[in-house]
Structure 1
């Protein structure tokens, strides 16, 4: 039993003691195990490490040894591979019993410090760089790479974005042409804003193997760290500064043709599918960051006095908290609903039915985080504008807002994508219904 009440908006309803239809006893046990481990090994030091702009190497090893990076993979987990590698459970949850709610709890707990950088330095490569190999790689590709990646003996990253092609994935220019002997792809180009890249041994990389547009894109497993023709350097960014954002240059890099992920020309499909997990993970983390920001401000205005009374006694302060609180709890409920749907729908169905809505949820999460972080800074006043002291968490989270609104597909692109995808699904279902009824028209 908790020793004192939760600060309003600090926890999702199911953790604040309210009933929920989504969470089983397995989920609740996992949350307690996950919270204890992540707090002890990450959150106690998260602020200091973020200020230093790096997380010590031993932290990745600590998480890897405890199999605490496996939970960042999309559910269901690759059970057959994990058991082959001697991994039968994660935090007491059997790998075959793992569902997307377990994954979401992990993402939420990893963001509990309010900072995305320290946790992102550990998880992004595994979360988004390994799944394309699991989902689309053939048997020999998996045999060559998954044993080292799933046990974290080697690190991966996802490399899509380029200096002139971010959300516009179909126009990437990094090329991968066949060598004269036919044994290699020769990769040339640049990748930018690649999270975890500086530490990655390999990358699931988008390359152009064919002509212009989406049909010319493929995915390759490209060796990175210490590999001939590859040079990497860290990029200074405004938020998530400890996550290892990287600029990668590729000059005549020889990659074995066996490193192709799936089939040539199918890369765009693989990338779009992979984005669904990335965007939902971002939305979950952003929801927790918004909670940290808003609840910190709530706690502050209850004790900070101005004009002879606590700030919370002023109607304008309560009004700000109420507006942001409503947005936050609505987002939280929507994200929970998404996660539950992921446990009930086959993956291929979820990729289609929820793809556009996932993009919309990620975009909305960024907007809600912006409102909650801005509210926190305003209510902290001068303290919220200061990088140390009582309001430093609000100042730090506000700097991280754009790290949610831009990566994984920038906000404006995702808002448009969501509606286009919903329209596409509607038109396809309408057409199918017309055929079933023997008429091309409704």
Structure 2
């Protein structure tokens, strides 16, 4: 029998409480992947994050165990995986039974150290770069790229953000112009804050193929070769948190890309990008929720043993009050994230894109705000130890620096809050018009 666990250290369903969402398959999956992720990632996560880089062999170990594939959105590309000889995942889970709740569990386990950078260094490209090729790439493009990308022989990132265009994706200025003979795209511009870019062989890249005035309607997606490709220069960026995730600045000077590397149709890139937002934002919210959990439970463990003013800190009412407020936010967030993952198992992809789009933006923004509260509480309860980059409060200090890395990337908090309400209003307006039309037809 397992011993007592620190309060808030696991989501309720892993604390032995009943849940309406998780089946025997989900529980077996969680039990199978936790030892692997602990051994090959979390045992060294703090060390690698402090060093700023995860050793290259770790990516190879995850690829060999097919433990990068669960970063893809559900359902998985079953036909492609079986073609490549991949019929089951770790623990014997058939690839055609993998759903969004399995994906949620994977994301939660990958963030269980509290430090998302080491895991993100492995999975971001698979999670956000590869799906665009899978969904919208031509058969020729998929045949040329997917065997290497899905097996981890090559790496891909997603490159959208620019120095002057972050959450405003429609404002990107990196251009792609066809060569005189029409056989190549010539790409010029720069991309900034690109996770995994420094290690990537390719980028699923947003480029402007229309006029500057065309906004979102002039954006296309290209698979742009990176490492060693003429005209491409990459350098690491120093950021506050997620240090080991490989945040990169990419410069593109007359980079020649075959016209066949266009993903889908010209000037349709923004529409394609939006189809992965639910998966992206749910993935971010999942990892952020686990980070908040680690921050709060680490502080809880500390105040149980830390003696001040002649008694353990947990006996101070103000300490219990802080833990209670943050804990309520954390468990409410957890319930919402799990609900979203369940809803994505029940809704067809296109329906989920519409009905959950605005709410997923709100979920991602809310997760960042809850993480901030839990990180604040953690550092305050650790006191001076939480302000020190070594010792008992080291993890609390590291997590505090990661908060803004969840509130800004993937759509900054204020932009997503506004987007969520605008999307809800849009859906309400459409439904109202449909109802009025239906009533009018009866008359």
Q: TM-score range by the shorter chain?
A: over 0.9
Partner of 2:234, secondary structure, is strand
Aligned to 1:189: 189
1:141-169 CA distance string (max 9 Å, x none): 11111111000100000000000000000
Q: Secondary structure of the equivalent of 2:252?
A: strand
Distance in 2 between residues matched to 1:205 and 1:277, nearest whole Å: 18
Q: 1:400 aligns to what SS in structure 2? A: coil
Counterpart residue number, 1:145: 145
RMSD of aligned C-alpha atoms? 1.0
Residues paired across the two proteins, number = 440
Give CA deviations for 1:273-294 in whole Å, capped at 9, x if unaligned: 2222111100000000000000
TM-score, normalising length: structure 2: 0.98
Runs of 4+ in structure 1 displaced over 2 angstroms?
Answer: none
Give the secondary structure class of the aligned counterpart of 1:44: helix
Report how far residue 386 of structure 1 moved. 0.4
Indicate if the aligned counterparts of 1:162 and 1:192 stay in contact, CA closer than 8 A.
Answer: yes
Partner of 2:398: 396
1: CA distance, partners of 2:152 / 2:329: 38
> Within 5 Å, which residues of 2 pair with 1:146-295?
146-211=146-211, 212=213, 213-295=215-297
- 1:252 & 1:173 partners in 2: Cα distance? 14
1:343-400 deviation line (CA, Å, top 9, x unaligned): 0000010011001000000000000000000100000000000010110110000000
- Any idea what the Cα deviations from partners look like across 1:214-248, whole Å, max 9, x if unmatched? 00001000000100110000000000000000000
- Alignment match of 1:314 (pick from 316, 335, 355): 316
Q: What is the SS of the residue equivalent to 1:54? A: coil
Alpha-carbon distance in structure 2 between the residues aligned to 1:135 and 1:86? 21
Match of 1:421 in 2: 423
1:26 matched residue in structure 2: 25
- Per the alignment, residue 43 of structure 1 pairs with 42
- Are 1:105 and 2:105 counterparts? yes
Gaps of 5+ in 1: none
1:102-155 CA deviation, whole Å, 9 max, x = no partner?
Answer: 111000000000001111110101110100001111211111111110001000
Using the TM superposition, give the Cα deviation of residue 439 of structure 1 relative to its aligned residue in structure 2, in angstroms. 6.5
In structure 2, list runs of 5 or more residues that go unmatched.
none
Which residue of the partner structure matches residue 7 of structure 2?
A: 8
Aligned mates of 1:276, 1:375 — CA distance in 2:
29
Q: Distance in 1 between matches of 2:433 and 2:10?
A: 44
Superposition map of 1:66-81 within 5 A: 66-81=65-80
Q: Which residue of 1 aligns with 2:355?
A: 353
Decide which of 293, 304, 307 is 1:305's aligned counterpart. Answer: 307
Provide the secondary structure at the position in 2 that maps to 1:35: helix
- In the other structure, the counterpart of 1:377 is 379
Cross-structure match for 2:53: 54
